[in-house]
Structure 1
Amino acid sequence: MIGRGKVGLLLAGVVLAGAVLPSPAGAVNRRVAIGDFQWSPREVVIDLNEKVTWTWVGPDTQHSVGPVSGNTSGVDSDPGNAAPDHFPGFEFTAQFTRPGSYEFVCKLHAIVRGRVVVTATPGNPDLPSPDPQPVVTVDLRAPELTEVRWVGSNRLRGGRGTLAYTLDERATLVMDVEKRVRGRWRLAGTRRFDGHVGWNEYDFAGVLNKRRLGRGTYRALIVAADAENNRTRDVLVPFRVR
């Protein structure tokens, strides 16, 4: 049975020829982290019918869990996909229903490999794994962009004004300026500028596309993106040009 999504469930099948394995104490469902171009741990031992869950922790995520030659388990995190790439935190779970020693390797990186050893002792696939949940090493949190406002007044003489804002990490800000024309918002232009941690001020000259903003009603839609391209939602800051 195969399921796709955040957690894929595969049933491993065929016993490797001549594989007679011991039954070490404490063989249970296991967790493996995939990151920094390696498995951690490199080898896990489970009992019959128990499971292994792999978690892509990054920062590298273009990896798969696939069989090497001679591995007839049927376990493959990316069947038919020659260029796997998963989001940080993606998980893949396989249940092993026959004993054996199964070697796995990434389709793209031969050094990303490991082994699952399945004993002949029946286990309990429903018990939680004693392994800690692997920690994702990639920053998935968007910056905090707060206290965004025009200094003094949102009535900008000649379109010039100082935009104030705070950030909790370094980020690049994109400001789309739109003008209200006949009941509709039309893009007047875009500005990009960098921000640092703490209080920031950006001096807006009121010129976009080499043209000074004329009188009217405007709004600035501002987004902050960090080095990992985590983005805030649009922050709307209205203003008028007089």
Structure 2
Amino acid sequence: MIAVRTVRRVLPLAAGTAVLLGAALPADAANRNIAIGNFQWSVQDVQIDLNEKVTWHWVGPDTQHSVGPVAGNTSGIDSDPGTAAPDHPPGFTFTGQFTRPGVYDFVCKLHGIVRGRVTVSPNPGRPEAPSPDPVPVVNVDRRAPELTQARWARGPVLRRARGTLRFELDERARIVLDVEKLVRGRWRLAGTRTFDGFVGYNDYAFSGVLRKARLKPGRYRALLVAADADNNRSGDVVVPFTVR
């Protein structure tokens, strides 16, 4: 048996993208594409002919899975030999070529419910023919939240360093607010705040107190970063202000 491990570069997709399952086979078998995600194979009973291939695609959101032989499986196909803790990036692929007819059962080393069977007929296969299955797509959110329209609600001049910071989000996210002060021509960190942001317009009441002290008069800038549940992060959004 022949096994090939690869990592494909995949394009960012929005959260909730559906996994494309294996298409119905024609009358004769063919090479197969199988998605691994949501703790299952997209097709649990795979039918191929002699010398044909199965390519497994780790689509997520769960990716700590392997394709390993159970007792009695003599295919020699194992996506993660030598490790008891498989973990692959979304988009990882592994291909096995089956050169002997038979029934081969596989199971994940970490999750016994992630399992499937490959049945290989003695009929001569077409290992170079394209698979009738669509290539599965990743089911992982890779898009960073968008933080826009950031501004001070009553203008950038803050009395006693207090003000309302207004911004808009396109998804729920954790906000990191760094405040920097301009000192002798260089920006220096004055303090940090973190808080939850919600879809739509947000108003954050900035108290002007950082590190247990109120900001003194001077030139400042607020740097906002939004991070979603999948740790996708927006770029810094800079909102300057002056304390008087």
1:34 paired residue number: 36
The residue that corresponds to 2:143 in the other structure is: 141
Cα deviation code 1:146-193 (max 9, x no counterpart): 112222422322222221111111222111112222333222111112
Shift of 1:34: 1.6
The SS at the match of 2:193 is strand
Residue in 1 that maps onto 2:188? 186
1:185/1:125 CA distance change after superposition, 3 Å = farther
TM-score (norm 1): 0.83
**Residue 229 of structure 1 aligns with which residue?**
231
Instruction: Write the mapping of 1:3-152 to structure 2, written as runs, cut at 5 A.
Output: 4-6=5-7, 25-152=27-154
Deviation at 1:3, TM superposition (A): 5.3
1:156/1:89 CA distance change after superposition, 3 Å: same
Letter in 1 for 2:113: I
Moved more, 149-158 or 159-168: 149-158
Which one is further off, 216-225 or 90-99?
Answer: 90-99
> How far did residue 2 of structure 1 move?
6.2
Query: Any idea what SS the aligned residue of 2:160 has?
Result: helix
Paired residue for 2:156? Answer: 154
Contact preservation (8 Å) 2:4, 2:94: no
* Structure 2 counterparts to residues 163-182 of structure 1, below 5 A: 163-182=165-184
- Structure 2 stretches lacking a partner, 5+ long: 9-25
Following superposition, the deviation at residue 207 of structure 1 comes to 0.9
Give me the whole-angstrom Cα distance separating, in 2, the residues matched to 1:155 and 1:92.
58
Change (3 A) 1:214 1:3: farther
Amino acid at match of 1:93: T
CA distance in structure 2 between the partners assigned to 1:237 and 1:4 by the alignment: 47
Q: Does the 8 A contact of 2:227 with 2:234 survive in 1?
A: yes
Between the aligned residues of both structures, percent identity stands at 70
CA contact (8 A) 2:165 2:205 kept: yes
- Compared CA separation, residues 210 and 66, structure 1 to 2 (3 A): same
Instruction: Check the 8 A contact 2:85/2:110 in 1, yes or no.
Output: yes
Residue 195 of structure 1 and its aligned partner are, at CA, apart by 1.8
Query: TM-score under structure 2 normalisation?
Result: 0.82
Q: CA separation in 2, counterparts of 1:74 and 1:226? A: 41
Query: Across the two proteins, how many residue pairs are aligned to each other?
Result: 226
Question: Quick one: distance in 1 between partners of 2:55 and 2:5?
Answer: 14
The 3-state SS of whatever aligns with 1:229 is coil
Deviations 1:44-86 (A, max 9, x none): 1112332212122333322100111222222111122211122
- After superposition, the Cα gap between the structure-2 partners of 1:222 and 1:4, relative to the gap in structure 1 and judged at 3 Å, is farther
C-alpha spacing 1:3/1:28, structure 2 compared with 1 (3 Å): closer
**In the alignment, is the contact (CA less than 8 A) between 2:3 and 2:78 conserved in 1?**
no
**Once structures 1 and 2 are overlaid, which stretch shifts more, 187-196 or 96-105?**
96-105
**Cross-structure match for 1:219:** 221
What is the alpha-carbon distance in structure 2 between the residues aligned to residue 2 and residue 127 of structure 1?
A: 17
Residues 103, 121 of structure 1: CA spacing in aligned structure 2 closer, same or farther, 3 A cutoff?
same
